[in-house]
Amino acid sequence: MNLPLIDIVPRMRRMVSRPEAIRPVMAIAALCGVVEGLALAAMLPAISSLASGEPVWGLGVDGWLWVFAALAVVSFAVNYWQSQRAYGVALDFLRSIHRLIGDQVARQPLGWFARPLAGRLSRMVSTELMQAGEIYAHMFGPMISHLSAAVVVVVAAWLWSPLLGLILTLAAPVFVVITLISTAFMRRGRAGHEPEEVNLANRIVEYAQCQGALRSCGRSDDFVPLHDALGRTLRAQRRAQWIESVGMLLSGMVTQGVIVALIAVTGTLAVTGSLQPIPALAFIGLALRFTSTLSTITESAMSLESRRPLLDAIDEVLTAAPLPEPASPGTLSEPGSIALDRVTFAYAPGGEPVLRDVSLSVPAGSMVALVGPSGSGKTTIARLVSRFYDADGGTVRVGGLPVTEQTGEQLMAQLSMVFQDVYLFDDSLEANVAVGREDASPGEVREAADLAGVTEIAERLPDGWASRVGEGGRALSGGERQRVAIARALLKRSPIVLLDEATSALDVENEANVIAAIERLRAQATILVIAHRLDTIAAADRIVALDDDGTVEAQGTHEELLAAGGTYARFWDRLHRAQGWRLEASGTRIDGDA
């Protein structure tokens, strides 16, 4: 069991740009506590003086009232100073944590973003960081000042009367124990419902994203995963509330118990004559404030504990290890080429391999088509080439150098990715093409757009090149988005293009544009294409056919593979019949044998 302050403070020091500013804030908070503790302790001589009418320690009632007034002014000033400094640290945290998370995100391999942790990011940066900032602004300071006030009161009680000092000292460990127990209950409760809440948030996003599919099945009111997640979250919250309330109940009961015990002990001492009645009364007043200070510390510890899951999540993002890479770029022995040498890969560590012993080579300037049944690992190969993940066995080379020996920047400079789920920014059509190369002139942007058939899209849209494409590019069709991605690749002029052809049927115009754009890409880059269309497969210099167990079934030219028969010949035949049927049915038969 950990007292929150002990392990949370060092963790939070790593999240600010000026950790050295935290110590003064804590020191000032401790000073606040000292002043508060002195004011509480001054009750003993002040009440004694009031009751006896005699000066105590040279001060009468008036004198003690002045002491209280002076302490109140000092307390106000120190509290103000402390909160200003604490806000400064909280603002520093908010500024630097966004940068730290941003840096981490930029260093992570692309595969990291498929993990649930990445989904957690948006919730984290939108709401949870503010809550974490509150720890600096509102939690550390009061907790420390209450702690130091409690210490001052105990010391003052010892000085006033060792017997009273002993009584208060004995009460303190009870609160330490109760704080440990309550925070443990709180932690247990949170651990139960936090994962369910994250899951619920993911299901809500999924529900919003799959509205089209649900409505088309007439099931938009009945999304079972969301319903289940909601039920589980409610049950987990109820359970957590029970567990947390046990902690709070226990802490409340013990506080009351300690108060009663203090009053009983003091009363007994007064009755037996060990303590004068007036000092006993003053001591009871002090003891009441002392216990309320201790119980405030317990409450603060519990509030701090309630923030632990979000600190854990921030920590998990900040400590996520990027894929190892060298400090400086290596030398490329075969620029523009790709080679996989006996590559094996599983998404889950120790899980069933998705790729087994895959070897293939894409010489510079060639076009190689990857074909195979759904789930055979074609996209996974493209992901390993772009180092979304590292292979478990074998070597992936780009430009002749293993991807693990290249810096991320070096690898990305060689690649353009034109995948099916092309993401466009909510900006103009022109700006979306220009993303391909930062220093491209407007003329070069237009030229690339022209070659990829994007000019035709611009001419159709009401605002031409300035038309906004909507978030993710939703104002454009899938084929149009892919043309924009090809224009980016043409503009970037990277030596290698990884292309995942659209599986969905493109309209005739889009299809013709995409085919023409691929031809232009071919003139300037090596292309590794995940091919779904007859024309692309037939036009490739080489074809790599994968089997559904993630092995390479055969590779060679189209003619060689057809002549060899096997899976590829059957696959070709099926594709031929399917696409031939589709094109004839649309009334615009295009020769599928092209």
Ligand X SMILES: Nc1ncnc2c1ncn2[C@@H]1O[C@H](COP(=O)(O)OP(=O)(O)OP(=O)(O)O)[C@@H](O)[C@H]1O
Which residues form the interface with ligand X (CB under 6 A)?
114, 347, 354, 372, 374-380
The minimum distance between CB 384 and ligand X, in angstroms, equals: 10
Nearer to ligand X by C-beta: 93 or 345?
A: 345
Could you tell me the smallest distance in angstroms from the CB atom of residue 359 to ligand X?
17
Strands 355-362 and 338-345: antiparallel
By the 8 A CB rule, do 344 and 366 touch? no
- Closer residue to ligand X, CB minimum distance, 119 or 335: 119
Shortest CB 506 distance to ligand X, Å: 16
Task: Note the residue count of the chain.
Answer: 594
- State how far the Cα of 360 lies from the Cα of 341, in Å rounded to an integer: 7
Q: Which is nearer to ligand X, 285 or 375 (CB)?
A: 375
Decide whether 303 or 380 has the Cβ nearer to ligand X. Answer: 380
Report residue 536 as tokens: 């692309």
**Other CB atoms within 10 Å distance of the CB of residue 459:** 9
- Residue 433: helix, strand or coil by DSSP? helix
Please state the closest distance from residue 509 (CB atom) to ligand X, in A.
Answer: 25
Looking at beta carbons only, is 378 or 488 nearer to ligand X? 378
- Least distance between ligand X and beta carbon 399 (Å): 23
How far apart (Å, rounded) are the C-alpha atoms in residues 255 and 178? 9
Contacts of 21 (CB under 8 A, 6+ apart): 85, 88, 89, 92
**Whose Cβ is closer to ligand X: residue 471's or residue 548's?**
548
* DSSP bridge pairs for 544: 370, 555
Nearest-approach distance from CB 423 to ligand X, in angstroms: 17
Helix locations, 4-139, DSSP H: 4-13, 22-41, 43-52, 61-107, 116-123, 129-134
Angle among Cα 311, 316, 321 to the nearest 5 degrees reads: 150
Q: Of 117 and 151, which has the nearer Cβ to ligand X?
A: 117
Separation CA 471–CA 507 (nearest Å)? 23
Locate 131 and state its tokens. Answer: 């809550």
φ, ψ dihedrals at 356, nearest 5°: -130, 120
Torsion of CA 187, 193, 196, 198, to 10 degrees: -60
In whole angstroms, the minimum distance from the beta carbon of 577 to ligand X comes to 18
* Residue 307 vs 378, nearer CB to ligand X: 378
Minimum separation from the CB atom of position 528 to ligand X (A): 13
Q: Are 546 and 353 in contact (CB under 8 A)?
A: no
Residue that the structure tokens 């024309």 belong to? 535
